[in-house]
Amino acid sequence: MMKNIKNDIKRGLQKVIFANSHSKLALILILFISFITSCEDFVEIDAPRNEIVRETAIVDDETAIAAVSGIYSKMMSGSSFNLPTGGLERLMGLYSDEFLSASIDENIFEYVESNLIASNNNSGGFWGTSFEVLLNINSLIEILQDNENVTQGTKNQIIGEAKFLRAFYHFYLTNLYGPIPIVTSSNVELNNTISRSSEEAVYNQITLDLTEALELMANNFDFISGKRIRPNRDAAIALLARVYLYAGDWQKAEDNATLLINNNLYNLESDLNNTFLATSNEAIWQLQPVLPDMLVPQAKFLLLTTAPTGNNIFFRETFHDEFEINDQRFTNWVGLFSDVTTGADYYFSFKYKNNANVTNTTQEYLIMFRLAEQYLIRAEARAQLGDISGSQSDLNVIRGRASLNDTSAVTANDLLDDIFQERQLELFAEWGHRWFDMKRTGRADEILSPLKTTWKSTNIILPIPEIEITNNPNLLPQNSGY
């Protein structure tokens, strides 16, 4: 039955979509199809007809939920920083000091050397897919705001989620590219000629969206049957804590992290191997896999079952030396493949353990935000504020979970060094944390200059993709150094 419905929807809406390729309706219908196509167990509804107009694109709560769920489906199937290939983790891990690659692709090698050119296809993927999703997000907000067919509670939640997602995408884009366009409209003509805004202006928009999202979203997961596969207000708090940390607003970073640390919905998993499961109590927001194999992309491309080839990546030789003896994160989260032919050892990220070549029936979801990061955010903010004992306490929670002794740091500077190290070992291969930490703390030159002969200080941000500047000259000037 569902297969027939999906086919009917595709046939019935094909003409509408192509005829209205620049309209809000087309964007919502595309999202709707994406969700229906990816979720076999979604509620069965009648296929829309060709004569649907904007006012009936979202006709009730169910179709509104389908639209926002379509965004998450697209994020896991092709439109979020190359998520289907673990793109952000892979590429920015190569760009930093985490990973090496077996690839002979020049586009990949430029990341290994941290020496991109503006025509690099992978960098363009970050930019293009993100702005496509932003267009869909803005369209959803605009259509829902005056929609009388959706109940107020559902409308609030979905608009809150959409504003959170808009902040999420702007956050990553500005941290990758520096000044970027602030896209808060679905008007294609406007967005095709938009100019870039300063990082400060982007952060102001991010903070505004997150603050408004807080007021709209639920404070639990009842609206999604207890699952954590759509964000509630705590996801907005988690991102706000990170935003304030990056911006150097230490008190607000501490305050927001504390809200989550004190929330009994979330607890660190004592067994590290439970952290990335669908049932993780540490997860603040997860994404459910939607591709046919139902595998988390980061497992498919970061986990080695043979000697690395092609897109496979592996840790730099010195990475395993960073762990202290008995660190359970190394024991549980780092895998080793020994090539019997060459005698070479390859260490790889083993946080996600399900792979096409590995039999494991335990369901894994992609972690977007988790509680451990909030302890590290608060530890860093407290060290910056001069709260030495508070910072030590938070850092020791993370170290203790890894079966390590308490930190020996007693000064703020030493604590900041220890926190930087702990973030490397706790958050490796997750959402490019290592790169963003090197960038925001001003340590990139010191760390990467000895490793990469082509490293330049201007490489701290990526080039605006060449094709985007060709299509919209208002994005000029290009970032310095490119």
Confidence of residue 74 (pLDDT cuts 50, 70, 90): confident
Residue 126: per-residue pLDDT: 87
Summarised one tens digit per residue, pLDDT across range 273-305 is 999 999 999 999 999 988 767 788 777 778 898
Kindly tell me if the per-residue pLDDT of 114 is higher than 90: yes
Residue 195 to residue 329: CA distance in whole angstroms: 44
Confidence of residue 198 (pLDDT cuts 50, 70, 90): very high
Kindly tell me if the per-residue pLDDT of 10 is higher than 90: no
Confidence of residue 316 (pLDDT cuts 50, 70, 90): very high
Confidence of residue 116 (pLDDT cuts 50, 70, 90): very high
Residue 84: per-residue pLDDT: 52
Backbone angle region of 212, left / alpha / beta, with phi > 0 → left and psi within -120 to 50 → alpha:
alpha
Report whether 251 contacts 221 (CB < 8 A): no
Report whether 124 contacts 467 (CB < 8 A): yes
Provide mean pLDDT across the span 102-115: 92
Q: Which of 55-69, 103-117, 127-141 has the lowest mean pLDDT?
A: 55-69
Q: Cα dihedral angle (346, 352, 357, 361), rounded to 10 degrees?
A: 150
Residue 195 to residue 303: CA distance in whole angstroms: 40
Summarised one tens digit per residue, pLDDT across range 167-193 is 999 999 999 999 999 999 999 999 999
Residue 302: per-residue pLDDT: 87
Report whether 147 contacts 28 (CB < 8 A): no
**Considering just the CA atoms, what is the radius of gyration of the chain in Å?**
22
What are the domain boundaries of the chain? 249-431
CATH no. for 249-431: 1.25.40.390
Residue 4: per-residue pLDDT: 38
Residue 135: per-residue pLDDT: 92
Query: Do you know the residue count of the chain?
Result: 482
Residue 260 to residue 267: CA distance in whole angstroms: 9
Q: Which of 73-82, 336-345, 453-462 has the lowest mean pLDDT?
A: 73-82
Q: Which helix (H) or strand (E) holds 285?
A: strand 283-287
Residue 8: per-residue pLDDT: 37
Summarised one tens digit per residue, pLDDT across range 441-474 is 999 999 999 999 999 999 999 999 999 999 999 9
Confidence of residue 16 (pLDDT cuts 50, 70, 90): very low
Kindly tell me if the per-residue pLDDT of 52 is higher than 50: no
Summarised one tens digit per residue, pLDDT across range 370-423 is 999 999 999 999 999 999 999 999 999 999 999 999 999 999 999 999 999 999
Confidence of residue 359 (pLDDT cuts 50, 70, 90): low
